A and B are shown apart, each in its own frame.
Chain A
Amino acid sequence: MKHKAVFLLVVLISGVLASGCIGGETKETQASKKVQLTGDFAKDVIKIGKVLEENGISEVKFSAWGSGDPNSVMRVYGIVDAAYKINKIWKENGISVKITVTVKYDQSFNDQYKEFLSKQPLGQAGDFFVNSYAFLSTLAEEGYILDITDYAQAYQSVINDFYPTLLDASKYNGRLYGLPQDTEARPFYVRKDVAQCVGLDVSQLPEKVKNGEFTWSDVYYWAKQAKEKGCAEWGLIHRKGSAHPDLIQFIFAFNGKLYDENTGKLVLDVPAVYKWLYVEWKFARDGLLPEDIMSWDWAKQIHPTIVEGKTLFDIGGTWYWTEWQTKQYYKGRSLTPEEVKEWFAYTLFPAGEKGAKPVTLSQPFIWMINSKAGQLNPKYEELKDVYQALAFLMIIKASDPKINAIHSVISAHLPVRKAAAELIKDDQWLNNLKALNLDLAPEVKENIKDIVESTVNPINAQFLADVSYMLQYTHFAPSHPKYPALADIFKDAVDKVLRGEMTPEEGVNYIISKINADPELKDNIEIVGEIPKDWKFPRGD
């Protein structure tokens, strides 16, 4: 009797399990696990929503990682807003699925990159990652970010609206690994009141710089005048650190190069690097540039010196324009847009010498998708393609011209899409942004309202329009895995030369020995040219 009961129980349990399995299988084969994108955003979103719903998914969780200056928070809130728009479409169509996005916004893009690198293999990195294009090659090479080339084919009309050079920066080995999020130029700022004091006419300056008539010899001359006449404490202030590629503009301004496309190797252009170090050395020796600038404090020394008019020239970035309006760098307060406009003129980075061309440098940020996007959601293995397609649609939505234009205006970065560039010229749209009278996620409005309040202004929009031409003169730092190591060496050499520990010649030799000391660097860097023997600075021509 007892045996019979046990036998019956086993049969019963097996029956229940078998029916469950069979039933489950039937259900799963019915639900689709893939979607084919059509290029019609609403249609694609609805299709994905239905697939998720059929598979019993009611909530999709994503996380967005971004970094940068405080005004650039749209790098993560763009994703939040994309989720809001998709949720809205789903709701309107009776699809009961919802996307929730958590954000992580850090100050240092370099540190966040390192964090992404170490956490991605563990499955703990953000699903969306916005960072410098400089890291894209390494991330793509390691398989840490999603190749979106096939998805992008369906959205060719959107893709075509991006500036082609920026799309190139989003590619690796001919495949697309992200969408441009922003870019910038690095204007050469001139303090108008100091210029007036020394008798430098700034009205014609941008044109003269553009034509290569105003070179670094002239910068030296006027900087010296400013110092000698007591118009300013310094002639020139520039940025610091190896992560910021501002100073390598000198290499391009002296007709040098940093990358050889034919060999895929980095280049140490000895004549150009020597001239760069010589300029730094000369400025510091003559007291026109602080010899310890590389260890100056950003908030307490660098920015206050510029906004308080203690220097004639400054090598900066477009984002300075709004950063000065939101941070208390000027005697304990921030500047008004009117003050920034009144006090600063801006040009391209002048040519190093006669015969060379003016330059600027861009470091586009790219919206990248983690190759494990959606991994923390239910049925990830089965629905991987669906989650990835959804993530792609989210960066398409986050690249909406309106979102891109908002980011540009409030952070003084340049638009990456032609449609966004048009939008920032529209006064009516700017007024709507000022009043936050736009269809944005409530969370986004809440988080950008203070920045919008202090930065949305026709003056700032005009500034962006005015500096857009600089992109025609732009260069990119090489997207090469070994470049950060070379940039570190450059930083050390500049520091030593500025402090007078090394002559420019010794500085160049120091760079060469550091490269030769690491076999991997040596293999990846071509050293070209020699230190020019009869080169003089300033030339006085």
Chain B
Amino acid sequence: MTKPWSITIASGGKWSGIIGRGKLICFTALEAGANVSIQFYNARDLTERYNMPDTLKAQYTAHLTKGNILMSDNGRAMASFVQDSLGWHDTISGYTSRLATDAKYGATNYQELRNEWLRSGQENFAVELVRSGLGMRDMMPVVNLFSKVSCDLEGKMHFAVDHCPAGAAVTLRTEMDVLMVLSNTPNPLDPREFYPSVPVKLEVLAAEPVHEQDACLNHRAENRRAFENTWEYYELSGF
């Protein structure tokens, strides 16, 4: 790519598309309090997808930040967190539903509000999954960029309201050809009573090849084996 591709996703917006391996996806929160829910699938085999438990247990973490990778259910590195100004992104809280959105923010509809009506993650994902030949059975845990949800010793989940300032930025590097499906809808555990209205900018540009000193490759031995599985997949398939 000679120059970055860019798009801004408005609050409530959605996007899906295939992003080839070896690219950087830079996400920037244009205002404070963003949340972008994302699902990842192998673009060449949609039955392979991001696996939250495999990702967390292999890296002994319950949150995602620089150095972490997103692992597929086939033991491969799908994408890497190569830059992160926040230090914590959530992957245990899921996405909003129509019922929960109506219950929390009040029922809205297009008839009355036109494009100001409040979208839900569930519906945004449903539309984009069906577009790619997938469906509700393919709905899985999402990565919630820009959100922090921690757990206390009793297991109670806490959403950090002031976690994401305006300008917060995180960059993922694709290690596979991925179908990325995203929804700019609130984190389900966000306790604020108003629907967050934060546009998020995406830029996609070419990444440098992964070198031997790469922080994500060397984060843990588990990460390296996941990378090796991805490299082997491409060598064998010839993709």
A and B assemble together: no
A residues contacting B by CB (< 8 A) are: none
